[in-house]
Chains A and B, each alone.
Chain A
């Protein structure tokens, strides 16, 4: 705290700072803080928020009392009759899919982004190459959804107008209905996510790679280190803090991801994710209690990252 610019430069009233802050604080309280508290309260209520969630329990079935909405949010998608049935339904549920998204999308965006940043650094058309990879960031998820839905298009007739199926049939394979075949469809959606977000990872990682001092890399080369060893044993450890930031940011993005699934499959055929499920409960089934319970589960998953963000900020302030 002492290190941050202490502004006792001019006499100021006690009131002045708060006048500058007031509009921002008011609007944030109204749109973020109040709704968060309200969402938590509503998650213990019934369909329209008029009575406790305990009233929605069905006699003879397991009931969690006022936590009934959480009972539904956490177990509603699973078949718990046997372990194998549970295992199968888990990986087709919104939770299983969100886990798949988190692993595959983070791995895809970070590795491709890092690889591209390293390789593009050596060529003259670096700026153009990076601009192209970055471009999907400017496009809406909806637009990206349309672009890829066309790539994945599955024709029932002889002519395939979707690029991927045209390639598959040209090579002698059978066309695949990418968006409605379970297992394949979630992967197909994740590819769209990777296509959009790789540019983001690449840009941030590229900036931190460029900040590695040239002298120490040069010194390692003189000592006879291979490019491979320089990359893994020097570059990666140096930029590790940035990689951690990128990974956490991407995980948060994945948890909140809604548009791609909504536009491309609507969460059908076993592609649902947590954020889309919340929308479905709330605005398709009009069940306020269940919708908010799913939202709270989502926030619980994000809380570690909120904590981490604050901690990182405090460390940054300490060295300022």
Chain B
């Protein structure tokens, strides 16, 4: 390696440091959510997710205060065997443990000349002793949070254990039907799909028609109409909510899928037409000329020529609309609410109302991100292309 090359590498180091630091800042919050969603409830509230690689709770305190006499496995003193459940059960909490540590044993202080552990440390030791004695077996990771979130379990234990004991709440049946429990994320997932798929397909179809007309058909007011459309792209959703929800109330469309499909279609239209028209307008003119010369009608040209050629634009638009509808909260909140809860609604409900702990919240949030993440990483190319084509949408 020559000197110039070493210099070049040294010069690049700050670049890498800045990049990697930024990437870490971007990734760590999501990573924390993911790890937390896989941890047992008790562990989530006792320690941060970043301590996951540390020895179990109380391990270090045990080593500090106890293991020199009792041994690392607690079996060193035969008449005070800390691996026996009977003995450990006499010290379930820090109070009993501390009391015993303050007592003299055979006329000698229990701890000798060493200081007593603080109450917090003693509490941790008590937890550790239970594990040592095999009273509780706590694994570091669990899928219980996900199961609880999917079936909508809100009890104090967890769904699997409750079902084993037959103590489940009346709205759960401990069979496959629980996946569709209206309070659960399983049902919300299906609702989200039922909302999103038609609300993605419909605007694309209508926009393809209109985009074709704007790009290749001649009519009066073409430019004027399209300019209005460009302006409509940035009209805020909030502006239209009230009249539509009043109208829906009269028409009985509040709380129906149809109402939400139509709303998303109407609102996604300006951007979709804009994208379609720009894409179709950039296709070579000869293509259409030769098709028309061969005697194709508009209708045939549209289905046989325009739709297949527009596939890249349709893909971009599809991803955009899909993510938009899937991630939308406001429309779902106003038009669907709690009658047919979608995933975003369900999560926002869990955040704002008390009663759902971090274990449920993190699992639910991760479930809602699963599908968009897959779509995003699989079709990132089209997503970026659509964004560059028309940078405004909301």
Q: Knowing A20-B217, A140-B326, A142-B348 are in contact, say whether A32-B358 is a contact too (CB < 8 A).
A: no
B85: min CB distance to chain A, Å: 27
Q: Please tell me if the beta carbons of B16 and A140 are within 8 angstroms of each other in the complex.
A: no
B364: min CB distance to chain A, Å: 8
Report which of A28, A116, A314 forms a contact with B232, defined as CB distance below 8 A: A28
Q: Does A34 count as interface, using CB distance less than 8 angstroms?
A: yes
Q: Please tell me if the beta carbons of A27 and B265 are within 8 angstroms of each other in the complex.
A: yes
Report which of A36, A142, A278 forms a contact with B235, defined as CB distance below 8 A: A36
B295: min CB distance to chain A, Å: 10
Q: Please tell me if the beta carbons of A163 and B50 are within 8 angstroms of each other in the complex.
A: yes
Q: Please tell me if the beta carbons of A123 and B368 are within 8 angstroms of each other in the complex.
A: no
Q: Please tell me if the beta carbons of A263 and B242 are within 8 angstroms of each other in the complex.
A: no
Q: Please tell me if the beta carbons of A138 and B219 are within 8 angstroms of each other in the complex.
A: no
Q: Does B227 count as interface, using CB distance less than 8 angstroms?
A: yes
Q: What's the Cα separation between A24 and B206 when bound, in Å?
A: 6
Q: Please tell me if the beta carbons of B262 and A27 are within 8 angstroms of each other in the complex.
A: yes
Q: Does B135 count as interface, using CB distance less than 8 angstroms?
A: no
Query: Chain B, 321-346, contact with A by CB distance < 8 Å: what is the 0/1 string?
Result: 00100111110011000000001100
Which A residues, 144 to 193, have Cβ-Cβ distances below 8 Å to chain B? 145-151, 153, 158-163, 166
Q: What's the Cα separation between A316 and B342 when bound, in Å?
A: 40
Residues of B within 8 A of A147 (CB): 29-30, 32-33, 365
B32: min CB distance to chain A, Å: 6
Residues of A within 8 A of B45 (CB): 159, 161
A170: min CB distance to chain B, Å: 10
Q: What's the Cα separation between A177 and B362 when bound, in Å?
A: 20
Residues of B within 8 A of A299 (CB): 235-236, 239
Q: Does B351 count as interface, using CB distance less than 8 angstroms?
A: yes
Q: Does B267 count as interface, using CB distance less than 8 angstroms?
A: yes
Chain B residues touching A, majority SS: helix
Report which of B22, B48, B210, B391 forms a contact with A245, defined as CB distance below 8 A: B391
Interface range for B: 35 or more
Q: Please tell me if the beta carbons of A12 and B298 are within 8 angstroms of each other in the complex.
A: yes
Among B96-104, B174-182, B373-381, the one that faces the other chain is B373-381
Q: Does A129 count as interface, using CB distance less than 8 angstroms?
A: yes
Q: Knowing A12-B217, A160-B48, A295-B239 are in contact, say whether A119-B18 is a contact too (CB < 8 A).
A: yes
Q: Does B160 count as interface, using CB distance less than 8 angstroms?
A: no
What are 29 A-B contacts with C-beta separation under 8 Å? A7-B215, A17-B219, A24-B206, A25-B210, A31-B240, A36-B235, A36-B239, A116-B22, A131-B380, A132-B23, A135-B30, A143-B369, A146-B364, A150-B32, A150-B361, A159-B45, A163-B32, A204-B387, A253-B394, A256-B238, A258-B329, A259-B330, A259-B348, A307-B231, A309-B230, A309-B233, A310-B227, A310-B230, A313-B227
Closest A-B pairs by Cβ, 9 of them: A31-B266, A140-B327, A138-B376, A35-B240, A38-B243, A24-B210, A20-B213, A17-B219, A146-B365
**Which residues of chain A have a CB within 8 Å of any CB of chain B?**
1, 4-10, 12, 14, 16-18, 20-21, 23-25, 27-28, 30-36, 38-39, 42, 49, 112, 116, 119-120, 122-123, 129, 131-143, 145-151, 153, 158-163, 166, 195, 200, 203-204, 207, 245-246, 249, 252-253, 255-256, 258-259, 262-264, 266, 275, 278-279, 282-283, 288, 291-292, 295-296, 298-299, 302, 305-307, 309-310, 313-314, 317
**Which residues of chain B have a CB within 8 Å of any CB of chain A?**
12, 15-16, 18-19, 22-23, 26-30, 32-33, 36, 44-50, 120, 206-207, 209-210, 212-219, 222-223, 225, 227, 229-244, 246, 262-263, 265-267, 269-270, 273, 281, 285, 288-289, 292, 298, 302, 323, 326-330, 333-334, 343-344, 347-348, 351-352, 358, 361-362, 364-365, 368-369, 372-373, 375-377, 380, 384, 387-388, 391-392, 394
